[in-house]
């Protein structure tokens, strides 16, 4: 018996078991892990097989996300009069699978390549996640296919880049069959998404002073308009001391810019609900539609794990 892209041999149960199982779950055909067989393919056997089988089941149930229960089987076999454990792992339907402690990251996601479990790149992880997520805006076909991208072209030219003829494919603006997806719709010159920026007098919503809408255009242009509006509202306050004049902004400019961009980038657009921004005398409230990713628990979120709702597009000589 030899190791292959579908067979992993282990002399004993080790800490790398979950990594090997994750790699097979993320592979196209799954695989088999033998415990009690050395690297030369010789059966050396194991002791306390029943106890080890229970340990394996508990570890795979508790340390891998999404759940892999029902995707593996544990069997005791006898090879050359030696007891060995055979773990049969199926290819999982909810890729990417990952180590729970490491989250959906390069340290948590593995793929079987040759005879080893290799870490997946962020791009591979993002592609698998987009395929699995039912409401991924990358998979939703735009209800309009005659889209124009003049505003996107201007944005790229201002950044010193150009859009070539394959920009839609390179930027992930197409479905698997080549049609424009919902991301393309958001990036196009005309769409149905509008971002609201409301301003109230006082600390409640009773007295509405302004109600601005920025949208029905490329989401990139709308984002810039929102940033400009909030920056205009971010007044400078001055305090005169005996030595100097101290100027401060109402909100930290860097922090508020980051919050605005995050709210727009990570919003769940699948329900056609845009983020909104509300300015009060004592605060600014930012609402981004959506909830935790279906693969991320509340505990994992507060532990610092991060999973993008909308995988980033990748620039490839666009």
Q: Residue 318 pLDDT more than 50?
A: no
| Tokens standing for residue 204 | 């409640």
Please state which of the ranges 62-76, 170-184, 299-313 shows the lowest mean pLDDT.
299-313
Please state which of the ranges 148-152, 158-162, 287-291, 305-309 shows the lowest mean pLDDT.
305-309
Cα(200)–Cα(307) distance, integer angstroms: 34
Please state which of the ranges 55-64, 176-185, 207-216, 295-304 shows the lowest mean pLDDT.
295-304
CB neighbour burial string for 47-65, b if at least 16 within 10 angstroms, e if fewer: eebeebbeebeeebeebbb
Each domain of the chain, given as residue ranges in start order, spans 7-132, 194-302
Cα(219)–Cα(265) distance, integer angstroms: 10
| Tokens standing for residue 110 | 């593995």
Span 209-231, average pLDDT? 94
| Tokens standing for residue 166 | 């394959």
Q: Residue 226 pLDDT more than 90?
A: yes
User: What local confidence, expressed as pLDDT, does residue 314 receive?
Assistant: 46
User: What local confidence, expressed as pLDDT, does residue 306 receive?
Assistant: 58
Q: Give the DSSP H or E segment for 134.
A: none
pTM of the model: 0.57
Cα(70)–Cα(266) distance, integer angstroms: 32
CATH number for 194-302: choose from 3.40.1780.10, 2.60.40.420, 3.30.565.60, 3.60.15.10. Answer: 3.30.565.60
Q: Residue 214 — pLDDT band, cuts 50, 70, 90?
A: very high
Q: Residue 66 — pLDDT band, cuts 50, 70, 90?
A: confident
Cα(170)–Cα(164) distance, integer angstroms: 9
User: What local confidence, expressed as pLDDT, does residue 292 receive?
Assistant: 66
Q: From the centroid of its chain, how far is CA 21?
A: 21
CATH number for 7-132: choose from 3.40.50.2300, 3.30.950.30, 3.30.1740.10, 3.10.20.30. Answer: 3.30.950.30
**Which of 140-144, 174-178, 278-282, 310-314 has the largest mean confidence?**
278-282
Average pLDDT, the chain: 87
pLDDT digits (tens, 9 = 90+) for 119-148: 999 888 877 876 665 556 777 888 899 999
């Amino acid at each position: 018996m030899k190791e292959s892209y579908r067979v992993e041999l282990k002399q004993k149960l080790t800490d790398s078991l979950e990594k090997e199982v994750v790699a097979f779950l993320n592979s196209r055909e799954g695989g088999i892990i033998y415990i009690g067989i050395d690297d030369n393919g010789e059966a050396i056997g194991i002791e306390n097989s029943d106890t080890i089988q229970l340990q394996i089941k508990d570890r795979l149930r508790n340390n891998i996300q999404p759940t892999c229960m029902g995707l593996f089987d544990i069997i005791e076999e006898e090879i050359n009069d030696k007891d060995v454990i055979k773990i049969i792992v199926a290819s999982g339907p909810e890729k990417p699978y990952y180590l729970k402690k490491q989250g959906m990251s390069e340290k948590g996601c593995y793929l079987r390549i040759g005879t080893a479990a290799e870490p997946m790149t962020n791009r591979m992880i993002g592609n698998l996640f987009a395929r699995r997520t039912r409401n991924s805006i990358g998979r939703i076909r735009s209800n309009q296919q005659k889209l124009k991208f003049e505003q996107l072209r201007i944005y790229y030219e201002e950044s010193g880049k150009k859009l070539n003829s394959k920009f839609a494919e390179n930027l992930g603006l197409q479905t698997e069959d080549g049609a424009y997806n919902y991301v393309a719709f958001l990036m196009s010159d005309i769409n149905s998404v509008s971002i609201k920026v409301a301003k109230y007098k006082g600390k409640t919503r009773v007295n509405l002073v302004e109600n601005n809408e920025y949208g029905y255009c490329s989401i990139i242009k709308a984002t810039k308009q929102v940033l400009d509006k909030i920056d205009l509202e971010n007044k400078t306050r001055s305090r005169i001391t005996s030595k100097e004049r101290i100027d401060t902004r109402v909100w930290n400019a860097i922090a508020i810019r980051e919050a605005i961009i995050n709210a727009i980038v990570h919003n769940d657009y699948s329900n056609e609900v845009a983020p909104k921004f509300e300015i009060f005398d004592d605060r600014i409230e930012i609402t981004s539609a959506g909830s935790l990713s279906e693969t991320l628990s509340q505990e994992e979120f507060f532990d610092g794990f991060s999973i993008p709702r909308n995988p980033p597009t990748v620039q490839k000589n666009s």
